[in-house]
Amino acid sequence: MLPRDVILTGPLILRPPVESDAGEIARMCDDPVTARFMPLLPRPFLPEHALDYVNGAAARWEAGGATYAITRDERFCGIVTARPPDHWDVAELGYLVAPWARGGGVAAMAARALTDWLFDQGVRRVQLEAEVENVASLRVAYKAGFLEEGRRRDAKRLRDGRYADFVMFGRLKGDVAGPAEPYLPFFEGGFERGELTDGVVRLAPLAPGDAGDFNRMLAEPTVAAYAMAETSTLEDDERRCRYTGYWWASGQRIELAVRDAASGAFAGHLQLRQVAPVMGQAMIGYSLVPAFRGRGYMSRAVGLLAEWVFAHTALHRLTAGTDVTNTASQAVLERSGFRREGVHRELFPKVDGRRADEVTWARLRPS
């Protein structure tokens, strides 16, 4: 059984919960973000639910787990828990921070401290999982020194009946748990609010609300003509839009909606993918809705993204590949500072079985 130690970490004190925490626990759990990402909690979450939770904590300790209240300056600010270590000394972590304490590093500090403490108690491996859309929780996992280990598709059902994918993380006792500075930071203002704009176009994360426009655009014949895969279904594209935050937070790719700044209308899609930190290289890809073509929107969008990339990431080379026949796309790259580098013969598989030559382009970090 784990000892009921008090854990001190930075400005936080982790201690077993007490009855007087129940009011704050009720307020914390009756919040829309909590309800969204913790679908098994009662909704509405009432004071009696909070009291049951506090009273049940003793039994959870007895069963071999750990339930800690996180406090800062003597104020309750969240809960961090460990399930009883299993037969192989593997424990599972969970965390929840009150709305009034979010965004200050509380969850990451508490998760890291509880994990370190579990290792001191003989636990060998600590794991946790977060929904692909729970970007704050994904960041917490990276910041607390966890490594991503894979995904579980359709792992849990949400309140709206939909099944969601979860990202699995683990930390082993011997892991060097350094500070996880993201390779691809979010735009200034954070994942949900950050955007890039020049007053004409606006770049913001591709969101589930864009799935319909995105799907229609991909099916449009002049877009589909340059696609390497069969046209995707609306369901595929909705799923893809839900992955934007996870792909970005994990440094794999950035998926953006290009919007008309004046109206907010969806004008197209711009992505940064094939991110290869060891090479300092990533590739862009894009498509524009026909109604927004001929106005220089994609050249502006690519220029904005390229400038941001060189100002905020360690990338040295931005590349792009266009079908040799796609002169409109080649003009976008020329206008946005890319130089032609060569031709890959028969690179692009087409849906009709032919293969097209690809012209490669690159824009380098300014010296």
For strands 196-197 and 163-172, give the pairing. Answer: unpaired
Nearer to ligand COA, 53 or 95 (CB): 95
Q: Does 136 bind ligand COA (CB under 6 A)?
A: yes
Q: Residue count of the chain, please give it.
A: 367
| Residue in 66, 130, 164, 362 binding ligand COA, rule: CB under 6 A | 130
Rule CB under 6 A: say whether 239 interacts with ligand COA.
no
Q: Helix 22-29 vs helix 47-62: angle between axes, to the nearest 10 degrees?
A: 110
Q: Is 149 in the site for ligand COA (CB under 6 A)?
A: no
In sequence order, what are the residues at sequence separation of 6 or more whose Cβ sits closer than 8 angstroms to the Cβ of residue 231? 218, 219, 224
User: Per CB under 6 A, does 106 bind ligand COA?
Assistant: yes
Site for ligand COA contains 37 (CB under 6 A) = yes
CA distance 68 to 112: 13
The torsion angles phi and psi of 192, rounded to 5 degrees, stand at: -80, -35
**One symbol per residue from 38 to 67: x for binding ligand COA (CB under 6 A), - otherwise; what is it?**
x-----------------------------
State which residue, 140 or 304, has the beta carbon closest to ligand COA: 140
* Position 103 contacts ligand COA (CB under 6 A): yes
Number of residues that bind ligand COA (CB under 6 A): 25
Round to whole Å and give the CA distance between 284 and 196: 16
The answer to the question of residue 26 lying near ligand COA (CB under 6 A) is no
Interaction between residue 134 and ligand COA (CB under 6 A): yes
Task: Please say which residue, 37 or 308, places its beta carbon nearer to ligand COA.
Answer: 37
Asked if 287 touches ligand COA (CB under 6 A), the answer is no
Rg, the chain, Cα only: 24
Ordered alpha helix ranges (H), the chain: 22-29, 32-37, 47-62, 106-120, 135-143, 211-219, 221-224, 234-242, 244-249, 297-312, 327-335
Contact flag: residue 139 with ligand COA (CB under 6 A): yes
Residues that bind ligand COA (CB under 6 A): 33-34, 37-38, 95-97, 102-108, 130, 134-137, 139-140, 143, 190-192
